[in-house]
Amino acid sequence: MEYTWDLLKVLLVLVGILSLFYAIAKFIRNKKVFNETNQIKVLERSYLNSDQVLYLVQVVEEIWLVTATEQKIEFVKQVELDVEDFEESTAQGPNILNYFKKGTDSKDEE
């Protein structure tokens, strides 16, 4: 009988701890602790190889081309483009190069 009572206490403590973890996770998710203002948005990402990634990032009203490796993150340059035009070009496929190809195609026709 004593064994059953000890097992019941252990299960109740386990349920209490799991409930506490669930409540904390739900609280953090609802508070949006990590990106409160939503002023930084990754528009597109393109993998160059296994450890190099090229990002197109919108920070407030500016758009930056950023490269990242395991050791560092570098801002390559600020890009002048309209977000709506970019979203239209990415409808063809999720690739940063589609937008830039669209820009060079119009220059080749001239």
3-state class of 63 per DSSP?
strand
62, two tokens: 């500016």
91, two tokens: 């409808």
Please give the pLDDT value at position 14: 97
pLDDT per residue, tens digit, the chain (110 aa), is: 788 899 999 999 999 999 999 999 888 777 665 556 677 888 888 888 888 888 888 888 788 888 898 899 888 888 787 666 666 655 655 555 555 555 555 444 44
pTM here is 0.47
Q: Name all contacts of 53-59 with Cβ < 8 Å and 24+ positions apart.
A: 54/96, 56/86, 56/96, 58/83
What is the pairing mode between strands 73-79 and 52-59? unpaired
- Indicate the DSSP class of residue 26: H
Distances (CA, A) of 19 to 24, 60, 108: 9, 38, 63
Please give the pLDDT value at position 108: 47
Please give the pLDDT value at position 56: 85
11, two tokens: 């299960």
Say how far apart CA 62 and CA 86 lie, in whole Å.
13
Please give the pLDDT value at position 101: 54
Please give the pLDDT value at position 94: 53
